[in-house]
Chains A and B, each alone.
Chain A
Amino acid sequence: MRRTVLAVALATGVALSATSTLAQTIKVGVINTYSGPQASLGDQIDKGIQLYLKKNEGSLPAGVKIELVRRDDTGPNPEVAIRLAQELIVREKVQFITGVVWTPVAAALAKVVDQAKVPLVLANASAAMLPTLSPWVTRMSLSMWHAGYPLGQWAARNGLGRVYTAVSDYTPGHDSEQAFTKGYVDNGGVIAGSVRMPLQNPDFVPFLQRIKDAKPDAVFAFLPAGRQATAFMKAFGDLGLSSAGIKLIGTGDIVTDEELPNMGQTPLGVITAFHYSAAADRPENKEFVAAWKQEFGPTSTPNYMSVGGWDAMGAIVEAIKAQNGKVTAEKSLELLRNWKNAASPRGPVSIDPSTGDIVQNVYIRRTEMRDGALANIEFETFPQVKDPWKELNKKK
């Protein structure tokens, strides 16, 4: 009798320990901007991450759960982000870190993950050099050169002979100015002038008046999405640049999907290059947008950052699945660096194993009226673009 009790106890014990090794939680650290003036950016990324997890949680190996550990960097504050990353790695023992809105934050985190050997999957942060900082960094968003360089090529080939560049005076602004100029001048375009505008700037009239006086064929603009881009757009309309025959072109940042409704009629006809538009007709994207609206309400619109968050989470989930839940840092990294997704909302994407950076389609879009609202309609594709900055610098 006693023996059977013991046997039963032993058996349950074994069974319990067996299930407990199966039921495991994998922690994913999310360093993101959840408060402060730029919280809208972090919000888009977080929703992308959330949505992917919600839709795909069921596909994880049995017993494996993902727990998101969110931390707020409050803005472009590398020193805060380093502290958060150390806490996530040492105390929370996260096995992946994702999120990251800002280039300076990403650059600081690259050093931390390089020492700690934890894969960092960037959902945003677009300075060209970032993935070169550590093999532990992979990027699911874009390089500033992804948008600027192809647009330069396009502008030169499509009859825009003289272009004035106007960018915000900080690293991504400088990057996009150089990227556009390189693509444009190499294909025969002439830069009519260039201006770098302060990042804290309430009114863009003086810069645009100067541009109007120079009478270029077009203005190439890069400004951070949100208030800045909207204010620029309004001043462009107020000064009547388009009636003076000056076109507005730029990276997708100046007409992000969630800001379009705030911009009035000015963006009509604006031509931009970018890797994602919420209005794209791909079935994967339609499905994504529908799921988004169902989850976050009909007035909410995903943008490129949401897709960055979605794909970053996707890559992490795939890496966990491929290892059947027994995750090691080295194997995860190898899987992340060879990640491919033919069905991303932005079209087929993959990670270039040699650089850790994303390879994706870049679309030339025109802002048009569709179903009573402004939308960025894609009309030309530069297929499978590798970051032109790294490609150009490799050849040298």
Chain B
Amino acid sequence: MDQILSALVSILFHGLAYGMILYVISVGLSVTMGLMGFANLAHGVFAMAGGYITVTLMNGFGIHFFLALVTACIVVALASVVLERLLYSRLYTASELDQVLFTIGIIFMASAAARYAWGPLPQRMILPESLSGQVDLGFRTFPTYRTFLIVVSGVIIAALWLGIERTRFGAQLRAAVDNRRMAEAIGINTRRLFTATFAVGSGLAALGGGLGADILAIEPAYALEYLVYFLIVVSVGGLGTVKGPFVAAVLLGVTDTTCKYLIPEFGAFFIFLAMIGLLLWRPTGLFGRA
């Protein structure tokens, strides 16, 4: 009995850590898609860029993991503003097909650029001493790195929730997601709002890419490789919310891990079956608005 319980705790713990990373990367995608209706498939590119910057700063310049993470987050957020103003903003009124073609194109260009600059191999990720090994939480030990992932993601989630529910910016954002034309009519500058949201979303993706680099390895195909998972999180969670993707990501992480544990031969299919079922039941996702 003890052993089953211990295995269960381990599975839940690892599933949670995995889900949290998916959430931090995907939440920006959900909000920007909900706000502007822009299908940005290239969202993973920002996570990949964050990962590359983090590992390059660490391996090439000996900068500490935490500092590298923050730098990556800021650099990518700023770069995304430039991209948004130069490229994305031209396609806001374009058809969905144009948007998808455009963002898929960005993925391919980013992959080729990453391969050119860093080569085809996954990047080396050496965690700092303080994050390697195991941490004792009283009743049992857990890998420090994954515990750290859960804690940091938890803090990010709390900050996001506060930012959206309790600040003026958040109120404007919620208003714009609910009804953009009305929000514009009462004087909210939705364009600026969107640029800011886009930057925050991309910065978070970069943070997630760097944070999770030890689980989701940084390599040129990253943005394409994990795209399916980001999209599952967003579509199951629902567009335009921060709560939805959180529930979806944790569900994805925990059920995927549990099913693969219980029935390894079929476990990999289960998550897709569950997604089909969920979307048939609620086509706009768990917390999406019709």
- Interface-side segment among A95-103, A154-162, A226-234, A383-391: A226-234
- The residues of A that contact B7 with a CB separation of less than 8 Å are 209-210, 212-213
Query: Is the beta-carbon distance between A227 and B217 smaller than 8 angstroms?
Result: yes
Report how far A226 CA is from B120 CA in the complex, Å. 10
Instruction: Flag if A207 contacts B18 (CB, 8 Å).
Output: no
Which residue of chain B has its CB nearest to the CB of A195?
A: B264
Contact between B124 and A261 (Cβ–Cβ < 8 Å)?
yes
Q: Which residues of A contact B145 (CB under 8 A)?
A: 238
Whether A279 sits at the interface, judged by CB under 8 Å, is no
Determine whether the beta carbon of B258 is less than 8 Å from that of A206: yes
Most chain B beta-carbon contacts within 10 A, residue among A202, A207, A231: A202
Residues of B within 8 A of A201 (CB): 268
Residues A234 and B214 in contact in the complex (CB < 8 Å), given A209-B7, A262-B125 = yes
A195 to B261, CA, bound (A): 10
Do A226 and B122 contact each other (CB < 8 Å), given the known contacts A39-B115, A207-B261? yes
Return the contact of B215 from the options A202, A210, A239, A258 (Cβ within 8 A): A202
Is B88 among interface residues, defined by CB-CB distance under 8 A?
A: no
User: Taking the complex as formed, is B119 at the interface, i.e. its CB lies under 8 A from any CB of chain A?
Assistant: yes
Residues of chain B from 111 to 169 with CB closer than 8 A to chain A in the complex: 115, 119-127, 132, 134, 141, 143, 145-146
Q: For residue B141, which residue of chain A has the nearest CB?
A: A240
Return the CB mask of B206-222 against A: 1 if under 8 Å, else 0.
Answer: 00000000111101110
* Interface set, chain A 212-260, CB cutoff 8 A to B: 212-213, 226-227, 230-231, 234, 238-240, 258-259
Q: Is the CB of A206 within 8 A of B221?
A: no
In the complex, which residues of chain A have a beta carbon less than 8 angstroms from the beta carbon of B224? 37
Q: Is B199 an interface residue (CB 8 A)?
A: no
Instruction: Give B112's nearest chain A residue, CB to CB.
Output: A35
Interface flag for A198 (CB, 8 Å): yes
**Cβ-based interface call for A197 (8 A):** yes
Chain A residues closer than 8 Å to B115, beta-carbon distance:
35, 39
Answer whether residue A58 sits at the interface, using C-beta atoms and an 8 A cutoff: no
B243 within 8 Å of A (CB atoms)? no
Contact of A210 among B121, B124, B264 (CB under 8 A): B264
A239-B10 in contact (CB<8A): yes
Q: Which A residue sits closest to B3, measured CB to CB?
A: A213
CA distance A286 to B216 in the complex (A): 35
Contact A39 B217 (CB under 8 A): no
Minimum CB–CB distance from B270 to chain A (whole Å) comes to: 11
Contact with A along B22-51 (1 / 0, CB 8 A): 000000000000000000000000000000
How many angstroms between the C-alpha atoms of A216 and B51 in the bound complex?
36
Name B146's closest neighbour in chain A (CB-CB): A238
B257 within 8 A of A: yes
Asked whether any CB of chain B lies closer than 8 Å to the CB of A264, the reply is yes
18 chain-A/chain-B pairs, Cβ below 8 angstroms: A39-B115, A39-B120, A39-B220, A40-B121, A43-B119, A196-B265, A202-B229, A205-B11, A205-B18, A209-B7, A209-B11, A213-B3, A226-B122, A234-B214, A238-B143, A239-B14, A239-B143, A259-B121
Given contacts A259-B122, A262-B121, 12 further A-B contacts (CB under 8 A): A35-B115, A39-B220, A40-B120, A203-B215, A205-B14, A205-B15, A234-B214, A234-B215, A238-B14, A238-B146, A240-B134, A262-B125
List 3 A-B pairs, minimum CB-CB distance, nearest first.
A40-B120, A37-B221, A206-B260
